[in-house]
């Protein structure tokens, strides 16, 4: 059974940092591109970042570029999102998702999400 | 960025009756490999999104055949032939043909 489990969310002050993790199981992690998406309270889904399954390409939404860093450790089947210079508008549930395409096309399985709250 | 627009915003449906959701993209979703990466997701209350349909019309494993997707280019539709109670939630279309991935604003399906 495919599973994705996020962790690392919590309450952080504006300007602070947070490291999110996503552990995958039930599939060969290295064969899939991996994404981070987010959903602000009561709002829709928003793309955040992608780490490709080959070549090490990374992609970022304009809203987080330069502040967030995506990485992955295939030996640990884990995806990371290092979040810095956090703003109140980054408050959201953050989801990781796998994608069968090399870069992006159609995320098929999503984790349960981890809540990040940026507030003073 | 490709803008995805959904209609309606809210869809009250009687159990057993059909439902239809429309999704339009601001540019063609036909990718260079010939595929059209238009996906549909359902987010039930308190849950994470679940993919229902990929590449316009392909149902994911375990998705009931009362769900069907159609369309081409920039216009797409998700249909539920007979709505059941478990179909309640917010439906999102999402394009994966152009970076960045973008979502429609969502359609909330509820039972009358």
Model confidence over B74-88: pLDDT tens digits?
999 999 999 999 999
Return residues 58-97 of A near B (CB < 8 Å).
59, 61-62, 95
pLDDT digits (tens, 9 = 90+) for B34-58: 999 999 999 999 999 999 999 999 9
To 10 degrees, the CA torsion angle through B7, B12, B14, B19?
10
Binned at pLDDT 50, 70 and 90, residue A66 comes out as very high
Residues of B in contact with A35 (CB under 8 A): 101
CA distance A18 to A36: 14
Sole residue written with tokens 């992690």: A29
- The overall average pLDDT reported for chain B is 97
């Amino acid at each position: 059974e495919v599973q994705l489990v996020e962790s690392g969310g919590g309450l952080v002050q504006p300007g602070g940092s947070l490291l999110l993790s996503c552990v995958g199981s039930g599939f060969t992690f290295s064969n899939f591109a991996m994404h981070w998406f987010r959903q602000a309270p009561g709002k829709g889904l928003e793309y955040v970042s992608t780490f490709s399954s080959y070549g090490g390409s990374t992609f970022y939404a304009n809203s987080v570029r330069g502040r967030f860093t995506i990485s992955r450790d295939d030996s640990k089947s884990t995806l990371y999102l290092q979040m810095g210079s956090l703003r109140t508008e980054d408050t959201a549930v953050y989801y990781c998702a796998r994608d069968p395409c090399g870069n992006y096309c159609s995320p098929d399985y999503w984790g349960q999400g981890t809540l990040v709250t940026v507030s003073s | 960025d490709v803008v995805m627009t959904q209609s309606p915003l809210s869809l009250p449906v009687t159990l057993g009756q059909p439902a239809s959701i429309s999704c339009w993209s601001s540019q063609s979703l036909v990718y260079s490999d010939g595929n059209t990466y238009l996906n549909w997701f359902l987010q039930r209350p308190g849950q994470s999104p679940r993919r229902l349909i990929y590449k316009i019309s392909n149902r994911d494993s375990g998705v009931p055949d009362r769900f069907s997707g159609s369309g081409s280019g920039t216009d797409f539709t998700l249909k539920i032939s007979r709505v059941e109670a478990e179909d309640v939630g917010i439906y999102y279309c999402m394009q994966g043909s152009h970076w960045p991935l973008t979502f429609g604003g969502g359609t909330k399906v509820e039972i009358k």
